[in-house]
Amino acid sequence: MQNEVLDMAKQSTPPVAVTTLSLMGIQLSDWVYIFTLIYLFLQIIHLGRKLFRK
């Protein structure tokens, strides 16, 4: 039963996220830019830490 609930929650996450972001007044394309910048920033930090540890 619990696994079914988790599966349903996972499936509904993307549509809920898109609806929530649209209701906040920010277009989906703008959110793609924002999340891409965040992802790139996190990748730069991860790579920097990895290189400096060696």
> What is the per-residue pLDDT for 46?
92
Q: How many domains does the chain have?
A: 1
> What is the per-residue pLDDT for 45?
94
Scanning the chain, the segments in alpha helix (DSSP H) are: 2-23, 28-53
Spans of the chain, pLDDT less than 70: 1-2, 9-11, 16, 21, 23
pTM of the model: 0.54
CA distances from 10 to 3, 5, 22, 39 (A): 11, 9, 20, 21
The residue type at 17: A
Structure tokens at 13: 């996450």
40: containing domain: 2-53
Cα distance between residue 37 and residue 7, in whole Å: 29
> What is the per-residue pLDDT for 31?
79
> What is the per-residue pLDDT for 43?
95
